[in-house]
Amino acid sequence: MAELDITKVARQSGVAPSALRFYEEKGLIASIGRRGLRRQFDSSVLERLALIALGRAAGFSLEEIALMFAPDGRPRIDRQMLADRADQLDRTIRKLSAMREGLRHAAVCPAPSHMECPKFRRILRAAAGGALGARSRRAPDGMRMQTHR
Protein backbone atom coordinates (compact mmCIF):
# COMPACT_ATOMS: atom_id res chain seq x y z
CA MET A 1 0.00 0.00 0.00
CA ALA A 2 1.39 3.34 -0.99
CA GLU A 3 1.57 6.34 1.27
CA LEU A 4 -0.41 9.39 0.31
CA ASP A 5 -0.23 12.83 1.77
CA ILE A 6 -3.36 14.69 2.69
CA THR A 7 -3.48 16.62 -0.56
CA LYS A 8 -3.45 13.46 -2.62
CA VAL A 9 -6.08 11.86 -0.46
CA ALA A 10 -8.21 14.96 -0.84
CA ARG A 11 -7.79 14.95 -4.60
CA GLN A 12 -8.45 11.26 -5.01
CA SER A 13 -11.38 11.05 -2.64
CA GLY A 14 -12.98 14.40 -3.31
CA VAL A 15 -13.01 15.08 0.44
CA ALA A 16 -11.61 18.46 1.47
CA PRO A 17 -8.41 18.49 3.55
CA SER A 18 -10.22 20.27 6.35
CA ALA A 19 -12.82 17.51 6.31
CA LEU A 20 -10.09 14.86 6.40
CA ARG A 21 -8.56 16.50 9.47
CA PHE A 22 -12.02 16.68 10.96
CA TYR A 23 -12.60 12.99 10.27
CA GLU A 24 -9.29 12.12 11.84
CA GLU A 25 -10.15 14.12 14.92
CA LYS A 26 -13.42 12.21 15.15
CA GLY A 27 -11.62 8.92 14.81
CA LEU A 28 -13.16 8.04 11.48
CA ILE A 29 -9.85 7.78 9.74
CA ALA A 30 -6.26 7.59 10.99
CA SER A 31 -3.07 8.91 9.53
CA ILE A 32 -0.18 6.50 9.43
CA GLY A 33 2.36 9.09 10.46
CA ARG A 34 3.85 12.41 9.54
CA ARG A 35 6.42 13.63 7.12
CA GLY A 36 7.49 16.72 8.92
CA LEU A 37 4.18 18.20 9.88
CA ARG A 38 2.26 16.61 7.09
CA ARG A 39 -0.04 13.73 7.62
CA GLN A 40 0.61 10.64 5.61
CA PHE A 41 -2.15 8.20 4.90
CA ASP A 42 -2.14 4.62 3.83
CA SER A 43 -3.92 4.30 0.52
CA SER A 44 -6.50 2.08 2.23
CA VAL A 45 -7.91 5.28 3.63
CA LEU A 46 -9.58 5.78 0.27
CA GLU A 47 -11.62 2.66 0.78
CA ARG A 48 -12.47 3.83 4.24
CA LEU A 49 -13.61 7.17 2.91
CA ALA A 50 -15.79 5.40 0.38
CA LEU A 51 -17.33 3.45 3.23
CA ILE A 52 -17.95 6.68 5.10
CA ALA A 53 -19.53 8.21 2.01
CA LEU A 54 -21.72 5.16 1.65
CA GLY A 55 -22.85 5.46 5.24
CA ARG A 56 -23.55 9.17 4.92
CA ALA A 57 -25.51 8.62 1.74
CA ALA A 58 -27.54 5.97 3.54
CA GLY A 59 -28.38 8.48 6.23
CA PHE A 60 -26.02 7.52 9.04
CA SER A 61 -24.44 10.28 11.05
CA LEU A 62 -20.69 10.44 11.41
CA GLU A 63 -21.07 9.31 14.98
CA GLU A 64 -23.01 6.25 13.94
CA ILE A 65 -20.47 5.50 11.26
CA ALA A 66 -17.67 5.78 13.80
CA LEU A 67 -19.38 3.07 15.83
CA MET A 68 -19.28 0.78 12.83
CA PHE A 69 -15.52 0.55 12.97
CA ALA A 70 -14.05 -1.79 15.52
CA PRO A 71 -11.09 -0.57 17.53
CA ASP A 72 -8.80 -2.60 15.30
CA GLY A 73 -9.91 -0.44 12.43
CA ARG A 74 -11.81 -3.08 10.52
CA PRO A 75 -15.47 -2.55 9.79
CA ARG A 76 -17.72 -4.01 12.45
CA ILE A 77 -21.06 -3.43 10.93
CA ASP A 78 -24.09 -4.59 12.83
CA ARG A 79 -26.16 -6.60 10.39
CA GLN A 80 -29.41 -5.89 12.17
CA MET A 81 -28.66 -2.21 12.01
CA LEU A 82 -28.09 -2.51 8.30
CA ALA A 83 -31.35 -4.34 7.80
CA ASP A 84 -33.19 -1.73 9.86
CA ARG A 85 -31.64 1.06 7.88
CA ALA A 86 -32.51 -0.70 4.65
CA ASP A 87 -36.15 -0.84 5.75
CA GLN A 88 -36.06 2.78 6.73
CA LEU A 89 -34.53 3.66 3.41
CA ASP A 90 -37.29 1.71 1.77
CA ARG A 91 -39.96 3.75 3.52
CA THR A 92 -38.16 6.91 2.57
CA ILE A 93 -37.96 5.81 -1.03
CA ARG A 94 -41.68 5.13 -1.13
CA LYS A 95 -42.38 8.55 0.29
CA LEU A 96 -40.06 10.26 -2.14
CA SER A 97 -41.54 8.33 -5.03
CA ALA A 98 -45.00 9.57 -4.13
CA MET A 99 -43.56 13.03 -3.84
CA ARG A 100 -41.91 12.77 -7.22
CA GLU A 101 -45.18 11.71 -8.82
CA GLY A 102 -46.86 14.61 -7.13
CA LEU A 103 -44.32 17.10 -8.35
CA ARG A 104 -44.41 15.65 -11.81
CA HIS A 105 -48.16 15.95 -11.94
CA ALA A 106 -48.14 19.45 -10.52
CA ALA A 107 -45.64 20.46 -13.17
CA VAL A 108 -48.05 19.62 -15.97
CA CYS A 109 -51.37 20.05 -14.20
CA PRO A 110 -53.77 22.18 -16.27
CA ALA A 111 -55.57 23.61 -13.24
CA PRO A 112 -54.98 27.36 -13.04
CA SER A 113 -53.80 27.08 -9.47
CA HIS A 114 -52.45 23.95 -7.88
CA MET A 115 -54.86 24.33 -5.02
CA GLU A 116 -57.71 23.77 -7.45
CA CYS A 117 -56.37 20.46 -8.64
CA PRO A 118 -57.91 17.51 -6.84
CA LYS A 119 -54.86 15.37 -7.43
CA PHE A 120 -52.56 17.99 -5.98
CA ARG A 121 -54.84 18.35 -2.97
CA ARG A 122 -54.75 14.61 -2.49
CA ILE A 123 -50.97 14.65 -2.52
CA LEU A 124 -51.07 17.52 -0.09
CA ARG A 125 -53.19 15.52 2.29
CA ALA A 126 -50.84 12.59 1.93
CA ALA A 127 -47.89 14.83 2.70
CA ALA A 128 -49.62 16.28 5.71
CA GLY A 129 -50.41 12.80 6.90
CA GLY A 130 -47.13 11.25 5.94
CA ALA A 131 -44.46 13.83 6.46
CA LEU A 132 -45.97 15.40 9.52
CA GLY A 133 -48.57 13.04 10.82
CA ALA A 134 -46.14 10.33 11.81
CA ARG A 135 -46.15 11.64 15.34
CA SER A 136 -42.98 13.41 16.42
CA ARG A 137 -41.05 11.91 13.59
CA ARG A 138 -39.20 14.47 11.57
CA ALA A 139 -39.47 14.72 7.85
CA PRO A 140 -36.26 13.78 6.10
CA ASP A 141 -33.76 16.54 5.81
CA GLY A 142 -34.32 16.39 2.14
CA MET A 143 -32.32 15.94 -0.94
CA ARG A 144 -30.68 19.28 -1.26
CA MET A 145 -28.06 18.92 -3.94
CA GLN A 146 -26.13 22.11 -3.78
CA THR A 147 -28.12 24.17 -6.16
CA HIS A 148 -26.57 27.56 -5.63
CA ARG A 149 -23.99 28.56 -3.09
Residues lying near a copy of itself in the complex (CB under 8 A) are found at: 13-15, 47, 49-51, 53-54, 56-61, 74-75, 77, 79-80, 82-83, 85-86, 88-90, 92-93, 95-97, 99-100, 102-104, 106-108, 113-115, 123-125, 127-128, 130-133, 135-146
Bridge partners of 5, per DSSP, are 40
- CB closer to a copy of itself out of 35 and 138: 138
| 16 belongs to the binding site for DNA (CB under 7 A) | yes
The residues, ordered by sequence, that sit 6+ positions from 79 with a Cβ below 8 Å of its Cβ are: none
| 91 belongs to the binding site for DNA (CB under 7 A) | no
Looking at 5, 44, 67, 95, which residue binds DNA (CB under 7 A)? Answer: 5
Count of residues in the chain = 149
Q: Are 120 and 114 in contact (CB under 8 A)?
A: yes
Q: How far apart are CA 42 and CA 94, in angstroms?
A: 40
Q: What is the largest CA-CA distance in the chain?
A: 68
Q: Which stretch binds DNA (CB under 7 A): 1-9, 69-77, 93-101, 122-130?
A: 1-9
| 61 belongs to the binding site for DNA (CB under 7 A) | yes
Q: How far apart are CA 24 and CA 18, in angstroms?
A: 10
